[in-house]
Amino acid sequence: MGSGREAGCYLNSPCVACPAGTVAAAADDFLSDVCMACESGSVSASPGSLRCEACPIGSATEGSDGAPMCTPCPRGYYGVLVAGSSTRPGAAAIVGRCKPCPPGAFGPSEGATECAACPAGATHFVQGRTNASDCTVPYISGDVSALEMNESVSWLSVTASSVGGGPVLSVRTWRDASARHVSVGSGEAVVMPQTQTYDSETERTINTGSFSDTVQTRALSPPVRTGVVSYRLFHLAPPPGAGDGPDANAGGAAGTGQYALSVEWADGVYTACRAVRGTGGGGSEPGPGAGAGLRVVCQRVWKSETTSGLDGTFVTSSVTETLTLEELVV
């Protein structure tokens, strides 16, 4: 039976059968075993257990370690099994997690292992939806031809600092992944290949006090994968009862001339961006390539923070990553 010191901090704690939600594990002080909490997503259902067991797919524990039982994933979520993070003896090798249903899908029931897709020709751009009625954005599905586009991904880190109100030192570091030609159909998923990486980065340092400006480029070893996992481009349709938009030939079907891009990022977050064909990336003002095709720019802010002191010292830093799709017009 798994037993140990339930209060592991105290050497004189008596050994007891480890309660549900914990297992006996070797103590760092090499004395009697201690009762260690099972990692979130795994449980030991009865006292005295020797191993933590993964929650069945479709269930998880409610966020904290040491839970005595698993609960079904709520509506709008689905269950997955992932590798556990604990390496202690008795820890579960895999654990259960509940993830929100992605944009374009919904989860109508508890304990789901997958989400239901929105009906053809309709979607939404929010995670964790629970009903088909949430799929309220109409789009043109099954376009006659996909758009031929140039795909590029870039990464930018900017840090600016000043000590005691003195000169400002700014450092800009950017990375660019190799552009590639992709065919993008309305509503079809495009998965970013693992080979799409940043191989080098360029750093520019500017010191306003000495007017120095230095630029250096260095290789990244190993290469760093882009933060983009996948994306879907939607050619939006007019609302029911509305007339056709001005861009009836975009993608080979009548539509509004408006497009929406849903991007999945490496941490499971989704962002959505919109553009109008011929305006260079959205909005009413013409941009690069205006009138020549579609250009969609979608950005993710990974970090943005500012710290300051009473003496005028400050540090601001931000990290952003940008996916750009630009239609190739012959």
Same domain, 90 and 170: no
Picking from 100, 134, 161, the residue at the C-terminal end of a domain is 100
Domain finish residue from 41, 69, 100: 100
Closest to 112 measured CA to CA, from 139, 138, 77, 150 = 77
- How far apart CA 41 and CA 62 sit, in angstroms, is 8
Q: How many domains does the chain have?
A: 2
In a domain, 107, yes or no: no
pLDDT, tens digit, 9 for 90 and up, residues 122-181: 999 999 999 999 999 999 986 556 899 999 999 999 999 998 888 889 999 999 999 999
Average pLDDT along the chain: 85
Answer yes or no: do 96 and 171 share one domain.
no
Would 133 be classed as within a structural domain?
Answer: no
Do 155 and 295 fall within a single domain? yes
91 and 153 fall within a common domain: no
Domain end marker among 74, 100, 126: 100
Residue 290 domain flag: yes
Residue 13 lies in a domain: yes
Q: Please check whether residue 118 lies inside any domain of the structure.
A: no
The answer to whether residues 251 and 222 touch, using CB atoms and an 8 Å cutoff, is: no
DSSP result, 273-310? EEEETTSSSSSSS--TTTTT--EEEEEEEEEEEEEE-T
Write down the pTM of the prediction: 0.80
Q: Is residue 111 part of a domain?
A: no
For residues 162 and 95, membership in a common domain is answered with no
Residue 20 lies in a domain: yes
pLDDT tens for 39-75 read 999 998 888 888 899 999 999 997 778 888 899 999 9
Which helix H or strand E contains 269, and what residues bound it?
Answer: none
Assess if residue 106 is contained within a domain. Answer: no
What range does the domain containing 154 cover?
147-327
Considering the domain architecture, whether residues 185 and 72 belong to the same structural domain is answered as: no
Q: How confident is the model at residue 118, as a pLDDT?
A: 96
